[in-house]
Amino acid sequence: MTATTNPNKALWEKGDFTRIAESMRESGEALVSKLGITEGLQVLDLGCGDGTTAVPAAQLGADVLGVDIASNLVAAGKARAEELGLTNLSFQEGDATDLNELDHKSFDLVISIFGAMFAPKPFDVAREMVRVTKPGGRIVMGNWIPNDPTLVAQILKISSAYSPPPPEGFVSPMTWGVEENVIERFAEAGVPKEQISFERDTYTFNYPGTPSELVTAFRRYYGPTMNAFDAAGANGREDDLQGELETLFDEQNTSEDGTTSIPATFLRVTVDR
Ligand SMILES: C[S@@+](CC[C@H](N)C(=O)[O-])C[C@H]1O[C@@H](n2cnc3c(N)ncnc32)[C@H](O)[C@@H]1O
């Protein structure tokens, strides 16, 4: 019997997202510090990667479970928790579209920062997040915004011009950055729109090298960009893609000391249960 490949899992196990996550630690910590986390709060971090938000949540005293579809990132998260001596932080593999291993109403706070947005079947994802949240609890999502002029939406826009059209029926992860879609998905999971609030927030990518070195890190380690370069390479256009991304990263860089600091806008969604 041949194992079927889950393309969603394969995308994130490709490369090594920890190399990009390292540039997102300060913003992860700043965001978590605004969530009113208290000792003993039961927190789920969904699509947690190697723990950019799960680690600071545990450092604030919450009992945190990080769930991610990528086995390499779950392993990296476990290694970070162990290194930091965080016994209140654990990680396990799971799929945001079907969290069957988690009980109903088990978390006070479900965080998903640029995580669940990347799972297919957004209505299933909303239903699962709602199902595992306790009454009176909260869901906080961070979602990139389509056509936003800042970094991540622009990387996607540039990359898509080099990539084949997505398969029929494909729902772009970026649709989670549109308020009407978020309202519709949570409404189907039983949450009235009055319980959902939105604000624009900023994540800053801080990297110790130059903007072009950060482009190279995306090219080597970030699954979606790796795929774009594979597609560009098939048409002999890798240099064009590298050039366009370097121009973008240079234009958006606010650091003047040879390092890189690029702010990117996202939609912060809060759902009150
Ligand atoms: C851009 S990374 C963000 C990781 C982390 N939240 C952070 O802020 O660094 C997207 C994460 O979502 C995870 N992911 C994608 N699809 C998923 C799914 N269906 N279920 C659970 N995790 C998923 C990926 O493996 C990856 O770790």
pLDDT tens-digit profile, the chain (273 residues): 456 789 899 999 999 999 999 999 999 999 999 999 999 999 999 999 999 999 999 999 999 999 999 999 999 999 999 999 999 999 999 999 999 999 999 999 999 999 999 999 999 999 999 999 999 999 999 999 999 999 999 999 999 999 988 888 889 999 999 999 999 999 999 999 999 999 999 999 999 999 999 999 999 999 999 999 999 999 999 999 999 999 999 999 999 999 999 999 999 999 999
Q: Among the atoms of ligand 1, which is closest to the Cα of residue 24?
A: 9
**Residue 211 per-residue DSSP state:** H
Query: For residues 147 and 157, is the Cβ–Cβ distance under 8 A?
Result: yes
Query: Is the CB of 156 inside a 6 Å radius of any atom of ligand 1?
Result: no
Distance 118 CA to ligand 1 centre (A): 7
Distance 146 CA to ligand 1 centre (A): 18
Q: What is the dihedral of CA 246, 204, 13, 121, to 10 degrees?
A: -110
- Nearest by Cα to 148 from 212, 221, 203, 206: 203
Distance 95 CA to ligand 1 centre (A): 9
d(CA 214, CA 235): 24
Query: For residues 81 and 50, is the Cβ–Cβ distance under 8 A?
Result: no
Please provide the DSSP assignment of 176-192 as one string: GGSHHHHHHHHHHTT--
- Nearest by Cα to 12 from 167, 219, 224: 224
Query: Is the CB of 73 inside a 6 Å radius of any atom of ligand 1?
Result: yes
* pTM, 2 dp: 0.96
Distance 113 CA to ligand 1 centre (A): 8
**Joined tokens for residue 223:** 């699954």
Query: Is the CB of 114 inside a 6 Å radius of any atom of ligand 1?
Result: yes
